[in-house]
């Protein structure tokens, strides 16, 4: 019989039969220390979401730096992600890159969203060329929207373009995760209090188990924004852990 679909959401079919039982993937349980509890997690049901680790937010020549933001904090997750992602890949945990990458015509972007990036109307906003290299701000397939060079994307990784702070809004992210049978989500990227938090909250609302990986996450916002993010994740939306806790649990 032929497999039809994406395991574990796959049928086995031939000309006369369709097996709809969807055999589960073999479990890979680990015990993981988080801020508030010890978690029992099945890596066969887990995925890692890396959000907005792209040039416009993390590179000295990107959009945030152009408007005067110190992007040094946004680069802090690069090292921890370099250590964690290869190990997760080796255990068949999918890596999903959730990047802000707009249509060139911006037809799905409202005036209010464009205002965030160009509040005066005469600055460098969405789709406008960056002065240093001419890359259009946060435009799909541009240098500005690309993941920083220090983080390697492999062919088996999954890329999802987003158009709002939440990676679930108007994207196929939910459908992809459900086809993969992934219900426990690790979160990293920037900015913690904005796009990471909005994506994590939507994941929680959709019924996913959410784990923020603190050293793989950062923000260029004030420190109190980071503190509020960690508090709210622990209080309302999931758990907070550290990449070393994940790596230790896999030994």
* Residue 4, domain member (yes or no): no
| Domain that includes residue 231, residue range | 28-249
User: Residue 157's pLDDT is what?
Assistant: 98
User: Residue 125's pLDDT is what?
Assistant: 86
Dist. CA 157–CA 153, nearest whole Å: 6
User: Residue 102's pLDDT is what?
Assistant: 94
**Residue-wise burial string across 88-111, b where 16 or more C-beta atoms lie within 10 A, e elsewhere:** bbeeebbbbbbbbbbeeebeebee
Q: Are strands 209-217 and 184-189 parallel, antiparallel or unpaired?
A: parallel
Q: Average pLDDT, stretch 28-54?
A: 97
User: Residue 123's pLDDT is what?
Assistant: 82
Please provide the DSSP assignment of 135-197 as one string: PBTTBTTSTTTSBPTTSPPPTTSEEEEESSSSTTTTSSHHHHHHHHT--EEEEEES-IIIIIH
By percentage, how much of the chain surpasses pLDDT 90? 91
User: Residue 64's pLDDT is what?
Assistant: 92
The pair of structure tokens assigned to 88 is: 């997760």
Handedness of CA 161, 167, 169, 173 (dihedral sign): positive
Q: Are strands 2-6 and 9-13 parallel, antiparallel or unpaired?
A: antiparallel
* Residue 2, domain member (yes or no): no
User: Residue 122's pLDDT is what?
Assistant: 78
pLDDT in tens, 191-230: 999 999 999 999 999 999 999 999 999 999 999 999 999 9
Q: How many domains does the chain have?
A: 1
Dist. CA 196–CA 49, nearest whole Å: 9
* Residue 23, domain member (yes or no): no
Name the phi and psi angles at 6, rounded to 5: -110, 115
* Residue 11, domain member (yes or no): no
* Residue 175, domain member (yes or no): yes
Dist. CA 75–CA 58, nearest whole Å: 6
| Residue among 250, 249, 251, 246 at smallest CA distance from 80 | 246
User: Residue 118's pLDDT is what?
Assistant: 80
| Residue among 190, 194, 211 at smallest CA distance from 75 | 190
| Residue among 74, 9, 87, 76 at smallest CA distance from 48 | 87
The pair of structure tokens assigned to 197 is: 């938090």
* Residue 50, domain member (yes or no): yes
* Residue 177, domain member (yes or no): yes
| 8 Å CB contact between 39 and 184 | no
Asked, as a colleague might, if the bond just before 9 is cis with ω within 30 of 0, I would say no
CATH number at residue 209: 3.40.50.850
R_g of the chain computed on alpha carbons: 19
């Amino acid at each position: 019989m032929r497999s039809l679909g994406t395991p574990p959401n796959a049928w086995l079919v031939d000309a006369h039969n369709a097996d709809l039982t969807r055999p589960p993937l073999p479990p890979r349980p680990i015990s993981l220390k988080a801020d508030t509890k010890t978690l029992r997690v099945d890596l066969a049901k887990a995925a890692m979401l890396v959000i907005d680790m792209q040039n416009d937010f993390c590179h000295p020549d990107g959009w945030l730096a152009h408007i005067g933001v110190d992007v040094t904090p946004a680069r802090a997750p690069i090292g921890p992600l370099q250590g964690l992602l290869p190990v997760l890949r080796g255990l068949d945990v999918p890596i999903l890159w959730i990047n802000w990458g707009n249509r060139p015509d911006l037809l799905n972007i409202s005036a209010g969203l464009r205002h965030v990036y160009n509040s005066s109307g005469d600055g460098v906003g969405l789709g406008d060329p960056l002065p240093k290299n001419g890359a259009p701000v946060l435009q799909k397939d541009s240098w500005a929207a690309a993941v920083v060079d220090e983080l390697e994307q492999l062919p088996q990784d999954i890329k999802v373009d987003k158009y709002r702070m939440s990676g679930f809004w108007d994207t196929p992210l939910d459908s992809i995760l459900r086809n993969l049978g992934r219900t426990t989500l690790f979160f990293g990227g920037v900015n913690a209090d904005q796009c990471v938090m909005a994506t994590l909250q939507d994941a929680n609302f959709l019924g996913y188990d959410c784990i923020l990986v603190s050293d793989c996450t950062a923000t260029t916002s004030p420190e109190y924004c980071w503190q509020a993010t960690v508090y709210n994740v622990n209080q309302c939306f999931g758990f907070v852990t550290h990449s070393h806790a994940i790596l230790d649990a896999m030994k």
